């Protein structure tokens, strides 16, 4: 529920997955489903989403730093994002579709790089108390498949250059989070065709939207 209003009219959706999972391919499809239902939609991303957040994103993607520093910068960007974009949009009646949210920090900086979960969870309670996505879509692929996809793309950023073992830890953390909150998470096999993945996500979102609007 929202930190400011437990009865907010906007639906909050985040897409998650390791680099190379195919997450970005599905973002516009999610937006299209919601708009087809007559919803106003704000598409955004993390880290980023604001002027300050985008500057922090450049540091995170290209500047080497300690994992704890990464985590703190992620939440610094997220604070601006929540206050300036996410909360105002949700309270104003718009749905928010976000390319990653706090689940990514728990998976990458926590599961992948070993920052203690209790520290990350404390930061989450400070930055967005009570605010969680209503729907979290995890596009799940084995790290080896993701690595093959990344090898065929543009020049990779600092995270995309991480090892297969790193992404195995990130993936495991994502799956643990999903197993702990099955009502909130949808795990989709990302090795299927983009059309098949899109179909599964579309059907899930339509059902989630019906439940959300009936509350």
- 64 marked as part of a ligand binding site: no
Residue 31 has φ and ψ, to the nearest 5°, of -60, -45
- 110 marked as part of a ligand binding site: no
- 20 marked as part of a ligand binding site: yes
Q: How far apart are CA 29 and CA 65, in angstroms?
A: 34
Q: How far apart are CA 68 and CA 66, in angstroms?
A: 5
Beta strand pairing call for 12-16 and 135-140: parallel
- 94 marked as part of a ligand binding site: no
- 23 marked as part of a ligand binding site: yes
Write out the H or E segment, with its range, that includes residue 139.
strand 135-140
- 2 marked as part of a ligand binding site: no
Cα dist from 182 to 14, 75, 135, 175, whole Å: 15, 25, 10, 10
Q: Give the annotated binding-site residues.
A: 17-24
Q: Give the annotated binding-site residues for ATP.
A: 17-24
């Amino acid at each position: 529920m929202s930190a400011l209003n437990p009865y907010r009219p906007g639906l909050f959706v985040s897409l998650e997955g390791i680099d190379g999972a195919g997450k970005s391919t599905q973002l516009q499809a999610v937006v299209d489903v919601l708009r087809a239902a007559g919803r106003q939609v704000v598409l955004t991303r993390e880290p980023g989403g604001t002027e300050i957040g985008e500057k922090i994103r450049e540091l995170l993607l290209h500047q080497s730093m300690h994992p704890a520093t990464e985590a703190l910068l992620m939440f610094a960007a997220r604070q601006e994002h929540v206050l300036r974009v996410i909360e105002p949009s949700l309270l104003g009646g718009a749905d928010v579709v976000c390319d990653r949210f706090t689940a990514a920090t728990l998976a990458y900086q926590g599961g992948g790089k070993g920052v203690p979960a209790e520290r990350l969870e404390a930061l989450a309670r400070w930055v967005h108390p009570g605010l969680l996505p209503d729907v979290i879509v995890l596009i799940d692929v084995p790290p080896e498949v993701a690595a093959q996809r990344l090898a065929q793309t543009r020049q990779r950023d600092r995270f995309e250059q991480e090892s297969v073992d790193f992404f195995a830890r990130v993936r495991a953390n994502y799956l643990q989070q999903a197993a702990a909150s099955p009502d909130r998470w949808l795990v989709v096999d990302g090795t299927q065709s983009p059309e098949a993945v899109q179909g599964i996500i579309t059907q899930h979102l339509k059902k989630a939207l019906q439940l959300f609007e009936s509350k």
